[in-house]
Chains A and B, each alone.
Chain A
Amino acid sequence: MVSRASLNGERPLSPEVAIEARGISKAFRIPHERRDTVREHFLHPMKRTSYEANEVLRDISFSIKKGERFGVVGRNGSGKTTLLKTIAGIYRADAGEVIIDGMLSPFIELGVGFNMELTARDNIIISGTLLGLSKSDLEERFDEIIAFAELERFVDQRLKNYSSGMQVRLAYSVAIQVPFDILLVDEVLAVGDAKFQQKCAGTFDEFQEAGKTLILVSHSPIAVRDYCDRAILLEDGAIASIGPADEVVDFYLEREGIGPQFKDLNR
């Protein structure tokens, strides 16, 4: 649960905007030779400053309206997940700001930070609490979380005995049962069986009816085209294209040299 409405009151959001990114940049400092031990610091004291700044996001600006379904496409390593994490407040941007109006539920890298040594029940309690559910909320919603993930028989098994698909189902189920206005979804459609994918798609429709905002990151451009109103294409951390989802996706597919005959393969 994140609620960071108008971080600095200078230019407040207009009321119909849910998320506004204003020129955000993010770089990771990567030492050329990773030196995590004192010995290395002593052996090569002069090499200390040889960092390589790996710019993952470059001057990203966009604005997402409330109730909008917004897609993010791009190759592996183009900055999609970093963008989501910066929006969620997990990473701090080096420059620019993200302004959010509403409560946000993140489902990033297919998880909500589960602990493999604990049972599904305990993990629901931890993640649910961290995402803002009170004790009574949790009790009230526990059965629904389990039911949506269809894991009734496995509630008291430890997650290390779960298949990866089962873990993802559970994580997504937690993420959508916490109170939120904005949902960040990273690649949920790429995993899980066909039935669960269909179920997720169904939830997207319900969120839209309820006026909630959705940000969907996907390797699969088809998913973004099908489920999103607008989209951005990220290339090396910069916005290469922004606009209606189908146009952005077509642009992306052409740019990647993928012909139209491929476009429907992922359906």
Chain B
Amino acid sequence: MTVNLTVKSIVQQIRAGSLTPTAVAEAYLQRTKTIAQKLNTHLHLDEAAALTEAKGSAQRIKEIGADRLPLAGVPILIKDNICVRGSKTTCGSKILENYVATYDATVIKRLRDAGAFVLGKLNMDEFAMGSSNENSAFGPVRNPWNLDYVPGGSSGGSAAAVAARLAPVALGSDTGGSIRQPASFCGIVGLKPTYGTVSRFGLVAFGSSLDQIGPLTCNVEDAAMVMDVLTGQDANDSTSVQHPHGGFAKALANDSEGLKGKTVGIPEEFFDSGLDPEVGACLERAIADVQKAGAKIKRVRLPNISYSVAAYYVIATAEASANLARFDGIRYGYRTKENGVSLKELYRKTRSEGFGQEVKQRIMLGTFVLSSGYYDAFYAKANKVRELISRDFAAAFDSGVDLLLTPTSPTPPFKLGEKLSDPLAMYLSDICTIGVNLAGLPGISVPCGRTKSGLPVGMQLIAPKFNEQTLLTGAHAYERATEWHKDQPAI
């Protein structure tokens, strides 16, 4: 049953009285029990908790009325770096393996207030550091399209779960592409909002100036419905912005133009020789489809975009090295079991035993670039380069472009283990998505094809800041003109 449910259809059926939150939960839990283990999407699957949540949703529906609840009865899976009070929030790390959140993230409150409920918590790359979900302390996640392949990361659990129809929507987080790239690898929709649009309060910080929470769904309309609930300024997040938000679902419903008359920019730098030929072929067809849907194509340049990975890895790791300093085994979380240690040993053993290798590497890099004598050359410089990249995007949009179109990833999904030996190879797979985080822009990935071996390929659309509406209507129009979103993995 669940394979045919969407956010929209659930809400409709709840409102019609033909479904209850508990029935929805049970259906998904049933499917989860048979599939999740194969994929390793779920961490601490707690059926009882999920059913209690469903009851909470039912209670809200009873009190307020399903018509007044935009996400009435919708179950949502949550990436395990988002705090759900009373629930383990591990960030895919041993250092938080038994940590139970003491408060709810703002997005959780908003979702529940809208009638949705938390179905479970999902596996991820440790502390959101990774592009393949192979860096989890709890085992890798597998791509539902082919279990030998990675689902992408760091929101690998979120993407795999939605693709496998274990929930109609999952929340992920995106710092350098961690929603969009796994969405693309798993053939689903993933949206990263404009920085500041969705509250980060309760999102365990990785790169504070880059992180955003966003939805992963099976189609664009569902993403719009969830975005309506997630967005809006939060007094608990000083970087969240007061800006007209919401009304996305309505805008989609009322939109008759789609891509007609829109100008879609193709940045040259993303379509060079580094692009995998199969990805290139899918994107070519996508561009043609976009044109058929009425858009004008324009070539643009983002002259500094080649520096985006370098700038990102300086900024994100620097911020992360500070954000992860709180994990010391003193107030919560893992603590080394060795006895009779000195204070210094306590810190070092706890952190060395608790963090995985990729996390340690990034902490080291971040610590180094902020250390005495290197701040100007690295962190300060990277932020200036970041500004140049932002201005490149702004200039591209100012030249009469409504949306930018790029591949989401330069390669199709790769095999587990394939990129683990070379840190740079993994980092470079973020090249299409990273610039969007640096510039704080909204970006969405939609499925646009498959490789010869049947693996999904995604296309990314990028809009100017706070233009989620343009982004969603453009993506929706493309979706309506194609059939990729209708495919599901045969799991």
Partners in one complex: no
A residues with a Cβ closer than 8 A to B are: none
B residues with a Cβ closer than 8 A to A are: none
